Amino acid sequence: MTVATELIHLSGVINRPLVDRTGDRLGRVRDLIVRLGDSPHPPIVGVVVAIGGRDLFVPVRKISAIEPGDVRFDGDRVDLRRFERRPGELLLAQDLKARHLINLVGGRLIRANEIELARVDGGWEVVGVDPTARGLLRRVLPGRLGQHSGAGAIVDWGSIEPFVSHVPTARLRIPYRKLARLHPAQIADLVEAASHEEGEEIIEAVGQDRELEADVFEELDPEHQVEFIEARSDAEAAKVLGSMAADDAADLITEMDQERRRPILELLPEPQRQKVRSLLSYNPETAGGLMSPDFLVLPETLTVADAREAIRSSAAPREALSVVFVADAAGLPIGSVSAVQLIQAEPDALLSTVATDGVAHVHPDWDLGAVVRKMSDFNLTVAPVLDHEHGSILGVITVDDVLELLLPSGFRRDYGVTAAEA
């Protein structure tokens, strides 16, 4: 059973005296050391103490009390060897205070204005962070005045992941498995709200999963896409673009420097290269530039059961698979059927009997306004882009593609989605 006492504010410990059993001052507390691991509340393993102009390490087993105002030493003598950081260790004040942390609940950045400690089962642990103005006041106001400023809204450390790219310990990195719990859009929001160094650390963590890395790049705004792709070699950039949806990859290539476009394009795998080349031939502000070349067209003679299986095995994006298009014997598009209709229909029914007649569509040279009007008038979540002869579907535009263009630039920051908590 875990039993915790009242919170101890880190600001009430840093730069306070280290005293011996009799209360005599031995030195000054410079920092507290914790070791990161699987525990939701990392334990304090030692204290960095300034004595005689030297930073010395005092193991936690020789500390009898950590209290606001002083830390009590319970040994016979202090080891005079200089402190040296070991792999896996964090210094709470130096590494964390006033820096950004990732709050994995909701995927937001918070600032460690105060770090909260507690005595738990005979030891001391980091239990939370105070990102509020009260935490800031305790840190900047002198002495007991700051410690009496009260507590703000504490964020449990179990939901927090620190940035550690600034820490001189190579083994410390953001665990991929924690970021993978977030939606790619949330991870992209974190990258956009973070500093460049912090964003690189997030991108490096998700890079362990090529698919997730590509999904995150797709969600980044163009400015940040270029920021985090330009430092990569052509081969590394091609790996990222090769895992992205073809329309998103084409958009990113158009944002890159002219001299890099062709070399990277040539390194893309087939058939990704062909899809991207085709999309680059259209004006990016038209339906042809907005469309994705990945969709599903099935012959009218297939059964509903066959169509369901085709959806299950398709590599097209899920949003594009919410509607399946139906073609006649000559391959001409004649109708469409939604995934909901396929679920509700009898498995042995033919597509020709459940598909709607006609295909509400747009053409590749239509501008965004015309596309939006057509999708709104016909309540389309997926709009097929037909050639002018109506003989084939060139691609599809999904409603999320349109929304991204209609929303103002930087809308996430403007509406507080990516803003770091104080």
Q: Based on the fold, state whether residues 277 and 364 are members of the same structural domain.
A: no
- What was the pLDDT predicted at 306? 97
Q: Is residue 347 situated within a structural domain? A: yes
**Of 120, 136, 162, at which residue does a domain stop?**
162
Q: Is residue 266 situated within a structural domain? A: yes
CATH number at residue 35: 2.30.30.240
Listed in order, strand segments (DSSP E) in 83-141 are 89-91, 100-103, 108-111, 114-120, 123-130
Q: Based on the fold, state whether residues 88 and 19 are members of the same structural domain.
A: yes
pLDDT at 403 over 90: no
Q: Is residue 57 situated within a structural domain? A: yes
Q: Is residue 422 situated within a structural domain? A: no
Of 46-50, 164-168, 181-185, 360-364, the range with the lowest mean pLDDT is 164-168
Q: Give the mean pLDDT of 262-288.
A: 94
Q: Is residue 411 situated within a structural domain? A: no
Q: Based on the fold, state whether residues 52 and 157 are members of the same structural domain.
A: yes
Q: Based on the fold, state whether residues 46 and 129 are members of the same structural domain.
A: yes
pLDDT at 288 over 70: yes
Q: Based on the fold, state whether residues 153 and 232 are members of the same structural domain.
A: no
d(CA 411, CA 160): 25
- What was the pLDDT predicted at 409? 64
- What was the pLDDT predicted at 5? 61
User: How many domains, in total, are found in the chain?
Assistant: 3
- What was the pLDDT predicted at 140? 61
- What was the pLDDT predicted at 146? 47
Quote the crossing angle between the two packed helices 184-193 and 196-206, to the nearest 10°.
Answer: 160
pTM for the whole structure:
0.82
Q: Based on the fold, state whether residues 138 and 230 are members of the same structural domain.
A: no
pLDDT at 404 over 70: yes
pLDDT at 373 over 60: yes
CATH number at residue 357: 3.10.580.10
User: Residue 253's domain spans which residues?
Assistant: 176-281
Q: Based on the fold, state whether residues 116 and 180 are members of the same structural domain.
A: no
Q: Give the mean pLDDT of 4-33.
A: 90
Q: Which long-range contacts (CB under 8 A, 24 or more apart) does 69-72 make?
A: 69/12, 69/16, 69/17, 69/144, 70/16, 70/17, 70/18, 70/19, 71/13, 71/16, 71/17, 71/18, 71/19, 71/29, 71/47, 72/18, 72/19, 72/20, 72/21
Mean predicted lDDT score pLDDT of the chain: 89
d(CA 374, CA 180): 37
Q: Based on the fold, state whether residues 50 and 28 are members of the same structural domain.
A: yes
Q: Based on the fold, state whether residues 29 and 119 are members of the same structural domain.
A: yes
Residue type, 344: Q
pLDDT at 420 over 70: no
Of 109-118, 294-303, 308-317, 397-406, the range with the lowest mean pLDDT is 397-406
- What was the pLDDT predicted at 143? 53
**Of 133, 162, 191, at which residue does a domain stop?**
162
- What was the pLDDT predicted at 352? 94
CA angle 166, 172, 175 (to 5 degrees): 115
Q: Is residue 211 situated within a structural domain? A: yes
- What was the pLDDT predicted at 411? 59
DSSP 390: S
CATH number at residue 188: 1.25.60.10
Q: Based on the fold, state whether residues 183 and 63 are members of the same structural domain.
A: no
Q: Based on the fold, state whether residues 338 and 384 are members of the same structural domain.
A: yes
Q: Is residue 203 situated within a structural domain? A: yes
Share above pLDDT 70 across residues of the chain, in percent, rounded to a whole number: 90
Q: Is residue 34 situated within a structural domain? A: yes
- DSSP string covering 303-358: BHHHHHHHHHH--S-TTGGGEEEEE-TTS-EEEEEEHHHHHHS-TTSBHHHHSEES
Q: Based on the fold, state whether residues 112 and 187 are members of the same structural domain.
A: no
pLDDT at 87 over 60: yes
| pLDDT tens digits along 119-167 | 988 899 999 999 988 767 665 654 554 445 455 578 999 999 999 877 7
**Of 137, 162, 187, at which residue does a domain stop?**
162
